[in-house]
Structure 1
Amino acid sequence: MSPDTARQTALRAAVAQLQAADIPSPLWEARHLLCDLEGITPTDIIAYPDLPVHHITQYQDWVALRASGVPMSRITGRRNFWGLEFHVTPATLDPRMDSEVLVKEALALIPTDQTCDIADIGTGTGCLILALLHDRPLATGTGLDISIEALKTAQSNADALGLSGRVRLVESDWLSALQPQSIDILVSNPPYIVQGEIQHLDPAVRDHDPILALDGGTDGLDAYRAIIETAPKVLRPGGWIALEIGWDQGQTVPNLLNKAGFLRISCHQDTAGRDRVVLGQKPDTTALKKTLGKDRAKG
C-alpha cells in the first residue's frame, strides 16, 4: 500500500487479515485500531472513506500484531474499565471486565455521603482503586504494589483521571506499608493461578500479563493467605475485605476468611455465573462490647 492509502482500502485489507487469523469480530477490531491510531471515530471512516490513513505503516504493523494474537490493549496501550480509560504497560495486568464485579460489590459497601479509606493490594494499573475513588468522591485510597514500574503506570492513570490528590501509591510487599486499623475497605485482585496451570493459559494472558500478577503458588492460594493473615491488623473494626477469585475458589477463599475470624462472608458471581468475588467483614468488637455492656446494665 502507498502512503496515501484510503481509509476504506486500509480497513478492508485489515479485516481480511484479521479474519484469516480467526480473530473474533475482525471488522470491529480493525476499525478500533484505525480509530485509535488516527484519532478519528467510526463515523469519520464512513463519512470520509477516501481520506488517507496518515500512519499507514504503523496501522499495518498493529494489524499484524493483532493477527498474531497480541491483545488489543497491549497494542494500543489502553484499556477501558468501568467506563474509564486506563494506560496499560508490560508491568501491569490487563484490566478485564470480570474485575468490574469487584468494583460493583465494593461500591455497595461504601456510603456515598461518608469518608472512607480504601486500600488496593497489587494495584497494577490502579484500575480498582481509581474506579472506586471516581465513584465515591469523599473516599481516599492507597494503592500498593511491589513493582515500581506498575506504580508508575498507576500514577499516570491517577493523573489522567484527576484523582492523584486522593490516592497515594506505595511500594509494598503485600500489606506491610499500611498502618494498624487504618483501612475501612481492602480490595485486591491477587495472583491466583496455580503454578502448574500457567503454561496452559490463553496465550493472550500467559505471554503478555506479568507473571507476578498470575502466579498464585502451588495451590493458587499463596496471595490470599498473605493478605488474609494481615488484613485484620490493618482493617478498622467492622471493616471489609473484597477479593477477586478464580472460578474454582468459591469455597477455599471463604474458608480462609472464616478461619481468620471474618464474618458475613459471601460469594458473588460474574456475568457468566462463575464465582468471582468474595467479601468478608472484620468483627466490630467495640460495638460488641457496647452491646454487651448495655445488656449487663439491663440485667
Structure 2
Amino acid sequence: MSLTLLQAWQTARARLEAAGLVGPVIDARLLVEAAADATRADIVTDPHRALTADQEASLESYISRREHREPVSHILGRKGFWKIMLTVTPDVLTPRPDTETVVEWVLRDFPEHAAWSVLDLGVGSGAIVLSILAERPAARGLGVDVSEEALAVARENAANLGLAGRLALLRGDWTTGLGEATFDLVVCNPPYIASHVIETLEPEVRDHEPRIALEGGADGLAHYRRLAPEILRVLKPGGRFAVEIGYDQKTAVETLFRDAGARDVQTLRDLGDRDRVVAGVKNPLES
C-alpha cells in the first residue's frame, strides 16, 4: 500500500528523530514536499493523497541521506535566504539565517532608489549580494571568490533571480586585482572558525561544507587581519562595511577595523542575540 502525504511526513519525522537530528519536523516536511512534488498546504489539505512508487523511492533516498547527516540544502540543491531561493552545492557555504543580519543592516541604511555599488568578498552562493540587489533595484554589485566552482553557483543564482545584469563576478583573492576600484558598500562573510575547532563541528558542517569557507587560521582571525585594511582601501570616503564574525570575536575584529582607520565601528546581534556582524564607516574626509 502506498504511503499518503501524512504518513510519509510522519515516517520521515520519526526516522529523523530516531537519528537524533535537530529540527526533524521541518526537515521531514521539506523532504516530503520535494519527493512528492507537494506543498506545505497539500500536506494539510490533502493528507491522504498517495505517493507514487517513484516518489516513495525518492523520499527513501532523501531520508537515508539525511540520516547520514547530509544537509537538507545539499539533498535538495536549494536553500531559502532572506526573501530569495538559492541553488546550493557542496562547493559553497549553505546560507544561514544568522547571515541575514548583514542584509538587514544594509537595507536599513541604504536608500531604495540610490545607484550605489556593493562589493561582496567571498561571494559563495551570492546570498548576501543577491538579497541586497533584489531589494535595491538601482544598486549594482561585484562578487569576488577564489573558487571558480563557487562563482559558477553565484552566476546561476544571479541568472535565476533575473539579476545577472547587475552583478559582475570575478575570481580573485579578496581585493587583489581590483586596482583603484572603490565601492559604497563592502560586505563579507569570511572563514572565521579556528583550525583546531573544525573537527568538533556538527557533521553537516564538518563533512559537507567547503573547508576553504570555514577555516580562519589558528585563532579564527587570520582573514580579518588582512581584510580590515583591504576593505577600508576599496571603500569610497563615507562608504560602509559589514562583516560577519564568530560569536566570540567582537572585540578582536572591532579592534582590527578601528586600527585600520574605520569609524563608528559597532557590532550587530543576530536573532539569537549573539554578536554576529561588525559594521562601520570609512572616514568621509579620507581620500
Q: What corresponds to 2:160 in structure 1?
A: 160
Q: Which moved more, 1:268-277 or 1:51-60?
A: 51-60
8 A Cα contact 1:180 1:235, kept in partner: no
Q: Give the deviation of 1:16 after TM superposition.
A: 2.3
Q: Distance in 1 between matches of 2:92 and 2:176?
A: 21
Q: Which moved more, 1:144-153 or 1:65-74?
A: 65-74
8 A Cα contact 2:4 2:47, kept in partner: no
* 3-state DSSP of counterpart to 1:285: coil
Q: Give the deviation of 1:9 after TM superposition.
A: 3.8
Amino acid at match of 1:191: P
Q: Which moved more, 1:4-13 or 1:54-63?
A: 4-13
1:8-87 equivalence runs, <5 A: 8-46=6-44, 47=46, 49-53=48-52, 54-87=54-87
* 3-state DSSP of counterpart to 1:144: strand
8 A Cα contact 1:181 1:237, kept in partner: no
* 3-state DSSP of counterpart to 1:251: helix
Q: Which moved more, 1:199-208 or 1:7-16?
A: 7-16
- Structure 2 gap segments, 5+ residues each: none
8 A Cα contact 2:35 2:56, kept in partner: no
Q: What corresponds to 1:215 in structure 2?
A: 215
Q: Give the deviation of 1:5 after TM superposition.
A: 4.2
Residue 265 (structure 1) aligned with residue 265 (structure 2): yes
Amino acid at match of 2:282: K
The structure that has the greater radius of gyration is: 1
The verdict on how the C-alpha distance between 1:263 and 1:123 changes in structure 2, with shifts beyond 3 A counting, is same
Instruction: After superposition, give the CA deviation of every residue in 1:49-95 in whole Å (9 maximum; x if it has no partner).
Output: 24223422121010111122222111111111002111111110010
Q: What corresponds to 1:118 in structure 2?
A: 118
Q: What corresponds to 2:237 in structure 1?
A: 237
- Structure 1 gap segments, 5+ residues each: 288-299
Q: Distance in 2 between matches of 1:25 and 1:104?
A: 25
The verdict on how the C-alpha distance between 1:48 and 1:178 changes in structure 2, with shifts beyond 3 A counting, is same
Structure 1 vs Structure 2: percent identity of aligned residues? Answer: 38
Q: Distance in 1 between matches of 2:274 and 2:40?
A: 34
Q: What corresponds to 2:170 in structure 1?
A: 170
The verdict on how the C-alpha distance between 1:57 and 1:99 changes in structure 2, with shifts beyond 3 A counting, is same
The verdict on how the C-alpha distance between 1:48 and 1:247 changes in structure 2, with shifts beyond 3 A counting, is closer
Q: Which moved more, 1:156-165 or 1:224-233?
A: 224-233
Structure 1 runs of 4+ aligned residues shifted over 4 Å read: none
Report the TM-score when normalising by structure 2: 0.94
Q: Distance in 1 between matches of 2:5 and 2:274?
A: 41
Residue 103 (structure 1) aligned with residue 103 (structure 2): yes
* 3-state DSSP of counterpart to 2:66: helix
Q: What corresponds to 1:151 in structure 2?
A: 151
Q: Give the deviation of 1:226 after TM superposition.
A: 1.7
Q: Distance in 1 between matches of 2:271 and 2:6?
A: 36
Q: Which moved more, 1:194-203 or 1:36-45?
A: 36-45
Q: Give the deviation of 1:13 after TM superposition.
A: 2.7
Instruction: After superposition, give the CA deviation of every residue in 1:208-260 in whole Å (9 maximum; x if it has no partner).
Output: 11000011011111111221121222111111111100001110001001111
Q: What corresponds to 1:292 in structure 2?
A: none
* 3-state DSSP of counterpart to 2:204: helix
Q: Distance in 1 between matches of 2:158 and 2:273?
A: 32
The verdict on how the C-alpha distance between 1:242 and 1:28 changes in structure 2, with shifts beyond 3 A counting, is closer
Q: Distance in 1 between matches of 2:100 and 2:286?
A: 33
RMSD: 1.7
Q: Give the deviation of 1:7 after TM superposition.
A: 3.3
